[in-house]
Amino acid sequence: MINTTPWYQWVWPWIGLGGAIVIIILLFCTNFLRRNLNITRWRDPAWLAWALTAAYLIHNTEEYGIDLTGALYNFPTTMSKMLNTGASVGGNPPADFFTAVNISMFWIASPIAAVLARKGHKVFAVGMAGEELLNAFSHIVPFFIGRGYNSGALSAIVIFLPLSLWTFYSCFGKGKLKYVTMWLVVGTGAFSHLFLMASIIMFTHGLIGSQILVLLQIINACLALFLWWLIENVDGKRFVQIKY
C-alpha cells in the first residue's frame, strides 16, 4: 500500500484536519457558525451541524493520517482484513475509492448541509448525526467483539458516538423535531452505508470497475443530500414542524 499509494492520498487527510481546526476555532471562539444566539451553542442545530462536520474530518485523520498504533494511511489495510477483499476476484478497492467516499461526503455534502442548516433547514442540521452514528457502530462493533483496534475506532468511540447521540437528544422530542424524523435520518445513514457496502461487493466480485466504484461514492453523497431534502419537504408538517 505504501509503495503504490499516490502522494495526494497521503496529503488530503491532513488538509481535512486543518479544515477541522479552523471550524473548531470558529465554533468555540466566535458566533459565526451559530443561528440562534438565544440558546446555548450546544443546543443550536446549525452549530451542531458544523461540529459534526469537524468531527468527521478529525475521524479521517485517524483513518487515513495516523492511527492510535502509529500506522499511516491504515484504514484501507484495516478494511481489507475485515472484508478479505484482497482474496476477492476484483481485489482491494483502489486508493481513489477511499478519497471519493470522504471528499464527496465530508468535504462537500456535510458543509453544504451545515450551510443549509444555518439557513433554517432542520433535517440538514441533523443529517450527519445519522451518518456518524452508523459509522461509529461499524468501528465499535468489531472492536468489542474481539477483533481488536481498527483505524478510526478511537474517534468513533470518543467523538462520533457522544456527539451524534447529543445531537439527537438536543434536536428531537417535544417542541423539537419529531422522533419519526430521527428514525428517517438514521435510516438515511443506514442507506448510505449499505450503498457503500453494495458498491464494494460489486467491485470485489468483478461486476464493476474502479471508475464506476469511484463514481458511485459521489452519487452516494448526492443521495444523502437528496434524502435529507426529501424528508424535510415531503409531508413536512408531519416530520419537521418546528421553528428554531
What does pTM read for this prediction? Answer: 0.92
pLDDT score at 174: 87
Q: Which residue has the higher pLDDT, 239 or 128?
A: 128
Residues 166-190 have pLDDT tens digits of 999 999 998 889 999 999 999 999 9
Distance of CA 124 to the CA centre of its chain: 13
**Grid cell at residue 103:** 471528499
Residues 145-159 have pLDDT tens digits of 888 899 999 999 999
**Grid cell at residue 59:** 475521524
With cell 463514481, the residue in question is: 215
The C-alpha atoms of residue 77 and residue 173 are separated, in whole angstroms, by 41
pLDDT higher than 80, residue 240: no
pLDDT score at 1: 42
Query: Nearest CA to 188 among 232, 144, 149?
Result: 232
CA quadruple 230, 232, 235, 238: dihedral positive or negative? positive
The residues facing 66 across adjacent strands are 72
